[in-house]
Amino acid sequence: MPPDAVLLSFGPKYRAPSGDRPNCLGMGTGWSTTERQETTLHSQQDDPLGSLSSTTLTWHGEADTEAFARALAAAPAVRDAFIALQGDLGAGKTTFVRHLLRALGITGRIKSPTYAVVEPHEAPDGLPIFHFDFYRFSDPREWEDAGFRDLFAGPGLKLAEWPDNAAGHLPPADLTLRIEAMTDDTRTVQLTAGTPRGHTLLATAAA
Ligand SMILES: Nc1ncnc2c1ncn2[C@@H]1O[C@H](COP(=O)(O)OP(=O)(O)OP(=O)(O)O)[C@@H](O)[C@H]1O
Ligand SMILES: [Mg+2]
């Protein structure tokens, strides 16, 4: 199916679970059926350079999430990319990162950076990977003190959940994924390229 006309046909729509955030206020647990709907999404292709700048994908299950992560991992442009991951609690940001890290050859337990803000990894070929979660980031001094500026200026793949909490510090993302839970397994994912590197990633991974 061409990327400019993605037919979404999904059944019961669910509300995302509260996740495991101890400071998440007043959200219910588990998934709840709220409505049924059917729609057609068209991607935005308003790139003045003439290449794709934004497109919308549907992941019908984690196998699709994994397949996209594999495609991204195979793109050489991913190596020094900054990928921002937006979406509600439980949308699937960490799940996508885990699939991407596996696709890049990371083995063993992959810890969530929730409490440490950043978890560093190193792929078997030496590629440094930094997985940030800015959910609890609020102190601007931490940006300098923890050396995040240097990490973002250095080589390697940077992945950031909750990037809006560090807006003003972060460089422009090469690629932004906005993940939205539609059912317990289905995710709508808006991909937006913010740099030439991001355009390359979109063109190769979301083709
Ligand atoms: N297609 C899918 N893609 C990603 N996750 C999926 C998909 N289908 C189901 N899930 C499930 O949704 C949950 C997503 O949780 P995850 O921790 O990845 O969310 P998150 O966006 O990182 O949340 P948080 O903001 O709390 O960090 C997981 O339990 C995962 O197994
Ligand atoms: Mg997460």
Domain that residue 108 falls in = 78-207
pLDDT tens-place string over residues 17-74: 334 443 322 222 222 222 222 222 334 444 444 456 999 999 999 999 999 999 999 9
CATH number, position 191: 3.40.50.300
Residue 35: inside a domain, yes or no? no
Residue 172: inside a domain, yes or no? yes
Residue 55: inside a domain, yes or no? no
The tokens describing 164, both together, are: 């809006």
Q: Distance between CA 18 and CA 22 in Å, rounded?
A: 10
- Given a cut of 80, is residue 2 above it in pLDDT? no
| C-alpha 57 – ligand 1 centre gap (Å) | 16
For residue 10, name the pLDDT band (cuts at 50, 70, 90): very low
Residue 19: inside a domain, yes or no? no
Q: Which residues line ligand 1 (CB under 6 A)?
A: 19, 21, 59, 61-62, 65, 87, 89-96, 161, 185, 187
SS3 of residue 155 by DSSP: coil
The better pLDDT of the pair 33, 85 is held by 85
The better pLDDT of the pair 206, 7 is held by 206
Residues with CB under 5 A from ligand 2 (ion): 93-94, 161
User: Of the candidates 29, 1, 7, 3, which has an alpha carbon nearest to the alpha carbon of residue 16?
Assistant: 29
Domain count, the chain: 1
Residue 114: inside a domain, yes or no? yes
Identify whether the C-beta of residue 98 lies closer than 8 Å to the C-beta of residue 110.
yes
Beta strand spans in the chain (E): 6-15, 32-41, 54-59, 82-86, 118-122, 128-133, 157-161, 175-181, 187-193
Residue 37: inside a domain, yes or no? no
**Greatest C-alpha distance within the chain:** 48
pLDDT at 51: 53
Residue 188: inside a domain, yes or no? yes
Q: Distance between CA 32 and CA 37 in Å, rounded?
A: 15
| C-alpha 81 – ligand 2 centre gap (Å) | 19
Residue 63: inside a domain, yes or no? no
The better pLDDT of the pair 129, 14 is held by 129
pLDDT tens-place string over residues 113-164: 877 799 999 999 999 999 999 999 988 898 999 999 999 999 999 999 999 9
Mean pLDDT, residues 97-117: 90
